[in-house]
Structure 1
Amino acid sequence: MGLFRRSAREVQLTSRDVELTATRAPWSLWADSFGSLAIRAVQIIVVVGLAAAIFFAIHSVTVVTIPLVIALIFASAFAPAMGWIRRHGVPSLLATVVTLLVIVVLLGGVSWLIVWAVRDQWDDLYSQAEAGVQELLAWVNTLPFAPTSDQIDDWLSTAGDFVTSSQFGSGALAGVSVVANFVTGLVLMVVILFFFLKDGPWMWEFLLRPFRGRQYDRGRRIGDKTVSVLGAYVRGTATVALVDAIGILIGLLILQVPLAIPLAVLVFLLAFIPIVGATLAGILAALVALVANGWVNALFVVGVVVLVNQLEGNFLQPFLMGRSMKLHAFVILVALTVGTVLGGLVGAVLAVPITATVWGIIQVWDGPNTPPRWARSKPRESAID
């Protein structure tokens, strides 16, 4: 009898365990390693979708977002000047107006210098380029696979038809639209820059009002680090670019290459695209020298560009940019590629400073010099003999 009761009790307990297991079964699917992987995959999908939605929203209003980012960069670059002027008792409005006028005069001066130099030497360069093209065509005609005169006439006729076609007209209208968007963005950038220079710190404090305690301190660190990294990057890059432009300008003037001043200004502007910009500037300068003065002169121009870039990369840039740009060359190349694909030329210019800013924010996430746990460097273990 006791044995029968014990068996009945065991059967009852077993059925109860089965019911509990069946009740927990749906939840237990997420408790093992594969369930954890599925949860992590869902989280990644949500984060990627949110990032894609944010990027789509930003890309839809580039007329606003690009001037906003450029204005932030300029304001960060001139933040020390604004602080120095204010500390000397100058009213905030007057300091802002003076700084903004300096920025506008610098940008306008660079644009005027390019236009003046091109107009002053355009006729000579055009005649030299025409002669160079004629020499190139004469050399091509000596090749065994050279095109015939009928083929060249057909190509010229096709080009003329395209110029007079409606497709070319629609392209011209699109170009007018691009110019209108550029002017709109420029005006908007100046207006935003005025308010960033005048009320930037107070605007950031307003955005931090909902936060308290550690979150507020983190927001303050993020703001300070953003201004510090962007400002140091722009000032360091501008100094390096100016030295490059002056060095290449001296070389072009000695070699009597036409459009030396516009090419030097172009070197200055392209220097804001790391790694790739110097190469593009050197190629353009060599092409102008090749068309105008021949291949020997072009080789000397290449030598001047390589020499200046080596001096800048090995001595000047590490000294000026060592603290503001702590990015590996591979990271810079990836950032340039992604920025160019997503935003074209503007994306290539803004990709590296934005990447440097993001990395700077990570470095102060948990403290003044304390990154989050996942980004902290691990101490190297001593080698075991």
Structure 2
Amino acid sequence: MTVPSGEPTTTPSLRSLLTDKMGSLAIRSGQILIVLALAVVVVFALVQLKLVVIPVLIALIIAAAASPIMRFLKNRGMSAILATWLTLLAGIVVIGGLVTLIVFAVRGQWDTLASSAKDGLDQLQNFITNGPIPVDADQIESAKQALIDFATSSQAGSGALAGASVVGELATGAALAVVILFFFLKDGPAIWAFFLRPFRGHRKARGERIGATAVRVLGGYVRGTAIIAFVDAAGIGIGLAILGVPLALPLAVIVFVTAFIPIVGATAAGVLAALVALVANGPVIALIVIIIVIAVNQLEGNFLQPVVMAQSLKLHPLVILVALTAGTILGGITGAVLAVPIAAVGWAIIKTWNDDESRPRAGTGVDAAA
């Protein structure tokens, strides 16, 4: 190829190729891909180490929730070790007592509860197939059978409470969580200060803000969720008892437990209560139960939750659903419970990342976890 005379030949330099619009876009795309690959590797590693990661997260959340008790005891002149033992033993007694009550409340009536739920599903299926807007029974039956096949498959069994190995993992995780919780309660400020040693100036102040934010959001979330779960369980349980629905106490316990899974948990518990009422008391009482569940949920969402949760959980429902889905895929039921507070903490940290405050607000610092 000949070049016209008088026109200089120029070869694009590597610098110009990297700094033009296409080069900048390519570099930015490569950076995004590297970050995504790193995130995938980190998530994969955390899932493989879930026997350690989950106890650490549980201990961290409980320590944040217990921070006001630790602060109260320390302000009364009690030593850190004594305050830690008192808080830890009190927590074990309270949580152990609740678990014992739940087991005794549900254990003797679990078979009846499961049978009632199954009968309620059968009646609901009959209504759908024979009602004013009939639906193909084969489609319903195939979907129902697919759900049963999944629940009884080896994959579901291996991920749920199946086998002595899983029981051993649960016992190991519980013991590890208690030990980690002890050190979080006792040496929370020292542990966080150790991680902040390499930083100086505004970077150290940012780390202190992150610690303060994590403690405030996690503690507020757990305490607020427990209050809301108790109110939901009490309201729905009292309504079931007044209506004469059997198994009211086990259903109230299930409402309390599932309330720790936002949006989905309350809905699932309400559906279960309605199915039991449908079998035992008929469609009218079942409809009243649904109305009670909706009323309690509306009271919680519009009045109780904004007051109790305050700034602890400011997430859009779509974000909560995505976090629940991701947590369930990665960690099952435990992941579903932990996903929302972790997402709330992450969002709160992002909002305070460039905060101009040089130190945490009073009463919300890292020492709150001690």
Superposition TM-score, scaled by structure 2 size: 0.81
- The aligned amino acid for 1:282 is G
User: 1:105 Cα deviation (Å)?
Assistant: 1.6
1:232–1:217 CA distance, 2 compared to 1 (3 A): same
Tell me if the contact between 1:82 and 1:96 (Cα under 8 Å) persists in the aligned partners: yes
1:170–1:75 CA distance, 2 compared to 1 (3 A): closer
| Cross-structure match for 2:225 | 237
Aligned pairs for 1:6-85 (under 5 A) are 18=9, 21-22=10-11, 25-85=13-73
- The aligned amino acid for 1:343 is G
Superposed CA deviations along residues 119-174 of structure 1, whole A, max 9, x for unmatched, are 45458768x849959x96xx89xx9x999xxxxxxx9xxx9xxx9xx999999994
1:186–1:368 CA distance, 2 compared to 1 (3 A): farther
Tell me if the contact between 1:86 and 1:95 (Cα under 8 Å) persists in the aligned partners: yes
SS at 2:13 equivalent: helix
Tell me if the contact between 2:228 and 2:304 (Cα under 8 Å) persists in the aligned partners: yes
User: 1:88 Cα deviation (Å)?
Assistant: 0.3
Q: State the percentage of identical aligned residues.
A: 57
1:100 and 2:123 matched: no
Which of 271, 276, 280 in structure 1 is aligned with 2:268?
A: 280
Which of 208, 222, 243 in structure 1 is aligned with 2:196?
A: 208
Tell me if the contact between 1:113 and 1:262 (Cα under 8 Å) persists in the aligned partners: no
| Cross-structure match for 1:352 | 340
Which of 260, 270, 273 in structure 1 is aligned with 2:258?
A: 270
SS at 2:163 equivalent: helix
Task: Note the residue ranges of structure 1 that are not aligned, 5 or more in a row.
Answer: 1-9, 148-154, 371-385
Q: 2 CA distance for matches of 1:233 and 1:68?
A: 17
My pick for the range that moved more, 50-59 or 99-108, is 99-108
1:119–1:32 CA distance, 2 compared to 1 (3 A): closer
Q: 1 CA distance for matches of 2:31 and 2:112?
A: 63
SS at 1:273 equivalent: coil
Query: What is the count of residue pairs matched by the alignment?
Result: 334
User: 1:321 Cα deviation (Å)?
Assistant: 1.7
1:168–1:90 CA distance, 2 compared to 1 (3 A): closer
Tell me if the contact between 2:225 and 2:260 (Cα under 8 Å) persists in the aligned partners: yes
Which of 362, 365, 377 in structure 1 is aligned with 2:353?
A: 365
1:339 and 2:291 matched: no
Tell me if the contact between 1:290 and 1:297 (Cα under 8 Å) persists in the aligned partners: yes
Superposed CA deviations along residues 216-254 of structure 1, whole A, max 9, x for unmatched, are 111111111110111111111111111111111111111
Task: Note the residue ranges of structure 2 that are not aligned, 5 or more in a row.
Answer: 131-135, 139-144, 359-370
Q: 2 CA distance for matches of 1:118 and 1:238?
A: 20
SS at 2:204 equivalent: helix
1:193 and 2:181 matched: yes
Superposed CA deviations along residues 89-120 of structure 1, whole A, max 9, x for unmatched, are 11211111111112212221222112212345
Superposed CA deviations along residues 290-339 of structure 1, whole A, max 9, x for unmatched, are 23333332222212111111111111111112311121222222222222
1:315 and 2:306 matched: no
- The aligned amino acid for 1:40 is R
| Cross-structure match for 2:241 | 253
| Cross-structure match for 1:383 | none
1:109–1:291 CA distance, 2 compared to 1 (3 A): farther
Q: 2 CA distance for matches of 1:363 and 1:101?
A: 36
| Cross-structure match for 2:287 | 299
Q: 2 CA distance for matches of 1:123 and 1:334?
A: 33
Superposition TM-score, scaled by structure 1 size: 0.78
Q: 1 CA distance for matches of 2:166 and 2:254?
A: 21
Tell me if the contact between 2:161 and 2:167 (Cα under 8 Å) persists in the aligned partners: no
Higher Rg of the two aligned structures = 1
Superposed CA deviations along residues 260-302 of structure 1, whole A, max 9, x for unmatched, are 2222121112111111111011011112222333333222221
User: 1:79 Cα deviation (Å)?
Assistant: 0.6
User: 1:210 Cα deviation (Å)?
Assistant: 0.9
Tell me if the contact between 1:114 and 1:261 (Cα under 8 Å) persists in the aligned partners: no
- The aligned amino acid for 2:36 is V
